[in-house]
Amino acid sequence: MKKILLILAVTLTSLPVFANDNHRVMDHHAQHEKNQGEMNHDEMNHGEMNHGPEHSHGSHEHPTENAKEDVMTMSAAAITTTDDITAALANGGAPVVVDVLGVVCDFCAVAMNKIFGKREEVSALYVDLDKKTLSLVVNKGASLSDEDIENLAKKAGYRIAAIRRDAEALGG
Amino acid sequence: MTPSAMRTWVAALGVLLSVSAAARPVSYTGGWTLLQTANRASTAGLLHYSISHNVSVGVRHEWQRGDDVTLTALQPTLLAKRWYGHNYQANVYLTGGLGTATDRSVASLGSDTASFVGVMTDWETRTLFVSYEARFLEQGKLGNHSMHAARFGWAPYTGDTGELHTWLMLEVDHRKHFDNKTTVTPLLRFFKGPALFEAGYNVTDSAPMFNFTYRF
C-alpha cells in the first residue's frame, strides 16, 4: 500500500505540469488577442487565413503551440467525396472541411463518425486519414458553427486546426 | 467435465478473446470499449464507458493463471494529457482500480481487497508506434505484483480510413515475480474500423499473446 500511495503522490504532484500546459494554451490565446489589437488589418492577407465565416475568437480554445506549427505546414485539402457526400451536396447541402489534429488511426475516425454522425445538421461525413480531414455536408438550411465543430471534435477527443467552407471547401 | 478441464477451456476461450489494455483506454464521449488481453501472466477483460473525452470508468476481471487468482475491480482511467500533431498523437493515461482478489486454487487462501495503480503512455504516427505501461497491484495475503511493458511498432504501409491496418510490433515486459523476469514478445496487430486484434508469441516464456479491442 505504501508503494501505491507513493505513486499516487508522485502522480498528483506531476499534474501541475499538465495544468501548466493548459495555461500555455490560454497564454497563447491572450497573446493572440493582444496581437489582434496591435495588428494593422490593412496589411493582413486574409486570403491565406483559415478563419471560417462564423469564427469567434472569444468562444473557443486555440490549438497548442505544436499544433500551431503543424498548421503552418498544412496544405488546404478539399472535401473528400464519397457517394454519401456527393448525394448530400446534390441535395443542396453545404460543404465543410475540417483539418483535424492527432488523427492517426481508425479509432480516431470511429470517434468522429459517432460524435458528428449524431448531429441532425450533418447529412454526410467522412474522416480522411490520408488528408487528416473531416469532410462534412451540412443540411440545406441548417447551420453548424465553428464553435459547434470545435466542441464536437473535443468530445471526440481531438482538436481542429482549420475550417473551410463552401467554395474553399470544394477546393475553389 | 472436471473443474481443471473447465478452467482449461475457459483459459483457452479467454486467450481467443483477449484484448490489448494499451489500445486507447479512454474513448470518445459516450463511447463503450471492450478490451481483452491474454499474455504469459493473465487473461483479462475490461469493459469501460467514457463519460468524457478524457475519463472512462470500467469493470475489470482478470485471472492470474500462475497463482490461480481472480481479480474483479472497478477501474477508472484518466487521459491526463494528449499531444495533438498533424502527423502524430501522444498520450499519457493514469489508471487505478479497487476490488476483490480471490484465490481459486485447491489450497485457497480465500479473498482479500485488491488495488492497483498504473500509467500508460504512447506516441503514434501512421507508421511508427512506441508505448510504455506499468502497473502496481496489491492483493494483501494473495500477493503483490508489478509489471512494466514497452512496445515498439512499425506499419509496413499506411492504410486509409476503413482499410486493414497492419503493424509489426515487439513488446518487452518485466515482471519480477516470474522466473523469467524480462521477456520478449513479437506480435502482429491488425486494425480495421472499430476492431483491433493482436497475436504474438512470447519467445522467452513460450506463451501466446492474444489481444482484442472493440469500440462501440
pLDDT at A71 > cutoff 50: no
Distance in Å, alpha carbon of A56 to nearest chain B alpha carbon = 22
**What whole-number distance in Å separates Cα of residue A115 and Cα of residue B27?**
11
Q: What is the DSSP string of chain B?
A: --HHHHHHHHHHHHHHT---TTS-SS-STT-EEEEEEE-SSEEEEEEEEEEETTEEEEEEEEEETTTTEEEEEEEEEEEEEEEE-SS-EEEEEEEEEEEEEEE-STT---EEEEEEEEEEEEEE-SSEEEEEEEEEEE-GGG-EEEEEEEEEEE-SS---TTSPEEEEEEEEEE-TTSSS-EEEEEEEEEEETTEEEEEEEETTTTEEEEEEEEE-
Model-level pTM greater than 0.90?
A: no
**What whole-number distance in Å separates Cα of residue B67 and Cα of residue B143?**
9
- The residue among B115, B176, B111 whose CA lies nearest residue B141 is B111
- Tell me which chain B residue has its CA closest to the CA of residue A157: B53
Cell numbers that stand for B180 in this block: 523469467
**What whole-number distance in Å separates Cα of residue A44 and Cα of residue A55?**
17
Q: How far is CA A167 from the centre of its chain?
A: 19
Angle at A1 between CA B122 and CA B18, to 5 degrees: 45
pLDDT for residue B75:
97
**What whole-number distance in Å separates Cα of residue B19 and Cα of residue B45?**
7
The domain total for chain A is 2
**Per-residue confidence band for B6, with pLDDT thresholds at 50, 70 and 90:** low
Q: Is the backbone of residue A7 left (phi > 0), alpha (psi -120 to 50) or beta?
A: alpha
Count Cβ atoms within 10 A of the Cβ of residue B143 and give its class: 0-12 exposed, 13-18 middle, 19 or more buried: middle
Q: Tell which B residues from 31 to 70 touch A, by Cβ distance under 8 Å.
A: 31, 52-54
**Contact check, Cβ <8 Å, B194/A127:** no
**What whole-number distance in Å separates Cα of residue A25 and Cα of residue A36?**
16
**Contact check, Cβ <8 Å, B83/A102:** yes
Chain A residues lying within 8 Å of B94, measured CB to CB:
11
pLDDT at B202 > cutoff 80: yes
Domain end, chosen from A11, A27, A44, is at A44
CATH superfamily of B3-215: monomeric porin ompg (2.40.160.40)
Give which of A1, A17, A110 to mutate to test B binding, by max B Cβ within 10 Å. Answer: A110
pLDDT for residue B2:
60
Q: Are A71 and A63 in contact (CB under 8 A)?
A: yes
**Contact check, Cβ <8 Å, A67/B192:** no
| Domain match, A11 and A89 both | no
CB-closest option in A15, A21, A157 to B28: A157
Phi, psi of B106 (to 5 degrees): -60, -45
Q: Are B99 and B114 in contact (CB under 8 A)?
A: yes
Q: How far is CA B125 from the centre of its chain?
A: 21
**Contact check, Cβ <8 Å, A11/B119:** yes
Task: Show the domain range for A34.
Answer: 2-44
Comparison of pLDDT for A11 and A127, the residue scoring more: A127
Non-local CB neighbours of B88 within 8 Å, separated by 6+ positions: A102, A104, B123, B124, B125
| Domain match, A29 and A55 both | no
**What whole-number distance in Å separates Cα of residue A139 and Cα of residue A87?**
11
pLDDT for residue A76:
84
pLDDT for residue A28:
37
Mind listing the pLDDT tens digit for each residue in B121-156? Answer: 999 999 999 999 999 999 999 999 999 999 999 999
pLDDT at A43 > cutoff 90: no
| Domain match, A117 and A53 both | yes
B73 interface with A at CB cutoff 8 Å: no
In the chain, the amino acid numbered B66 is G
pLDDT for residue A34:
37
Distance in Å, alpha carbon of A42 to nearest chain B alpha carbon = 31
pLDDT for residue B24:
74
| Domain match, A12 and A39 both | yes
A76 interface with B at CB cutoff 8 Å: no
In this prediction, residues B7-36 reach a mean pLDDT of 64
pLDDT for residue A5:
52
| Domain match, A58 and A116 both | yes
| Domain match, A104 and A157 both | yes
The mean pLDDT value of chain B amounts to 90
Question: Of the given ranges (A26-40, B34-48, B97-111, B166-180), which has the lowest mean pLDDT?
Answer: A26-40
Percent of chain B surpassing pLDDT 90? 84
A66 interface with B at CB cutoff 8 Å: yes
pLDDT for residue B76:
97
**Per-residue confidence band for A53, with pLDDT thresholds at 50, 70 and 90:** very low
| Domain match, A91 and A162 both | yes
Mind listing the pLDDT tens digit for each residue in B36-93? Answer: 999 999 999 999 999 999 999 999 999 999 999 999 999 999 999 999 998 999 999 9
CB-closest option in A101, A106, A161 to B162: A106
**Contact check, Cβ <8 Å, B79/A101:** no
Phi, psi of B103 (to 5 degrees): -80, 115
| Domain match, A51 and A129 both | yes
A105 interface with B at CB cutoff 8 Å: yes
Q: Are B95 and B110 in contact (CB under 8 A)?
A: no
Domain boundaries, chain B: 3-215
CB-closest option in A7, A74, A105 to B86: A74
